[in-house]
């Protein structure tokens, strides 16, 4: 193949994950990646492989998923962006599309990702938020959650915060550069930024912090949970609808 005629494009994608089985193509449901690849193939006249920065699970949303793909013909990026948004369903949007260097890869070139987990902490959930917040009725102690979060920042073996991905994992060591808990009214936001995340790791971090906030687990127990390196019922997986892939970071 003559690589002089291959053009690499980088896209920033937002999607509502409610109707999808996740980002990655899979046999048990329609995936966001599949929908975009079909739209690209329609415009390109041939199959196109879309490379995402990472996977999101069923029901999880993205404010800024990053992806790249190559085409054998040159498009003006803004024209391609408009054409894609014209054929994509309304719950998937290409927010930005640019040409990029040939060696850019959305996953391998990424240096960090940020996820945000959103919680509605009140007796009654406003209906318009039900697909975009986890609902926790019991009052949460945000100060206790912040103490626990501080103990999770840094380089650790997060095996106790990972579900079985049913695929080989080279290492369960990850570095959390930031883990913040903020409250604004009934909204509580957990911000997790790191160099990479294990399968269901962010939802597991959120699940534990919710238990800490409700008084079921003391903040000081976090170090003991990390040290076990074994997933137990002490660390629940929080519901998917509260989770957003918020931003992907690259050098330069």
Taking residue 197's Cβ as centre, other Cβ atoms within 10 Å add up to: 23
Over 50: is that where the pLDDT of 56 sits? yes
Q: What angle do CA 119, 107, 160 make, to 5 degrees?
A: 50
- Chain mean position to CA 112: 12
Catalytic residue, chosen from 16, 57, 141, 157, is 57
Residues 123-172 pLDDT 10s: 999 999 999 999 999 999 999 999 999 999 999 999 999 987 666 778 99
Enclosing H/E stretch for 122? none
Domain architecture of the chain: domains with CATH: 3-99 (3.30.70.580), 111-250 (3.30.70.660)
Q: What is the mean pLDDT of the chain?
A: 95
Residues 97-112 have a mean pLDDT of 96
Enclosing H/E stretch for 157? strand 154-157
pLDDT of residue 72: 87
pLDDT of residue 64: 98
Nearest Cα to 136, choosing from 149, 119, 150?
Answer: 119
As a whole-number percent, the residues of the chain with pLDDT over 70 amount to: 96
Nearest Cα to 175, choosing from 194, 160, 161?
Answer: 194
Model confidence at 2, pLDDT cuts 50, 70, 90, reads: very low
Residues 162-206 pLDDT 10s: 987 666 778 999 999 999 999 999 999 999 999 999 999 999 999
Taking residue 14's Cβ as centre, other Cβ atoms within 10 Å add up to: 17
> Is 57 part of the annotated catalytic residue set?
yes
DSSP class of 136:
E
Model confidence at 4, pLDDT cuts 50, 70, 90, reads: low
In 46-200, where does DSSP find H-type helix? 77-87, 142-152
Spatial separation of the C-alpha atoms in residues 25 and 14, rounded to whole Å: 17
Over 60: is that where the pLDDT of 3 sits? no
Residues 75-85 pLDDT 10s: 999 999 999 99
Check: CB of residue 11 under 8 Å from CB of residue 97: yes
Spatial separation of the C-alpha atoms in residues 141 and 106, rounded to whole Å: 37
Over 80: is that where the pLDDT of 67 sits? yes
pLDDT of residue 1: 40
């Amino acid at each position: 193949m003559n690589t002089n005629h291959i053009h690499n494009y980088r896209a920033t994608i937002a999607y509502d994950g409610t109707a999808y089985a996740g980002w990655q193509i899979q046999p048990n449901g329609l995936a966001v990646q599949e929908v975009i690849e079909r739209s690209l193939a329609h415009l390109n006249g041939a199959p196109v492989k879309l490379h995402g920065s990472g996977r999101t699970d069923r029901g999880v949303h993205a404010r800024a998923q990053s992806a790249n793909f190559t085409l054998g013909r040159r498009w003006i990026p803004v024209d391609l962006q408009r054409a894609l948004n014209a054929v994509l369903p309304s719950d998937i949007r290409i927010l930005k599309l640019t040409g990029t260097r040939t060696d850019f890869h959305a996953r391998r070139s990424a240096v960090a990702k940020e996820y945000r987990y959103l919680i509605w902490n009140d007796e009654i959930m406003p209906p318009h938020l039900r697909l975009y917040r986890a609902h926790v009725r019991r009052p949460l102690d945000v100060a206790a959650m912040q103490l626990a979060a501080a103990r999770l920042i840094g380089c650790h073996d997060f095996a106790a915060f990972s579900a079985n991905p049913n695929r080989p994992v080279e290492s369960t060591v990850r570095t959390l550069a930031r883990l913040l808990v903020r409250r604004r009214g009934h909204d509580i936001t957990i911000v997790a930024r790191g160099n990479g995340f294990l399968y269901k790791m962010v939802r597991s971090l959120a699940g534990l912090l919710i238990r800490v906030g409700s008084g079921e687990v003391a903040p000081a127990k976090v170090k003991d949970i990390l040290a076990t390196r074994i997933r137990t019922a002490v660390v629940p997986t929080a519901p998917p609808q509260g989770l957003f892939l918020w931003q992907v970071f690259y050098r330069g």
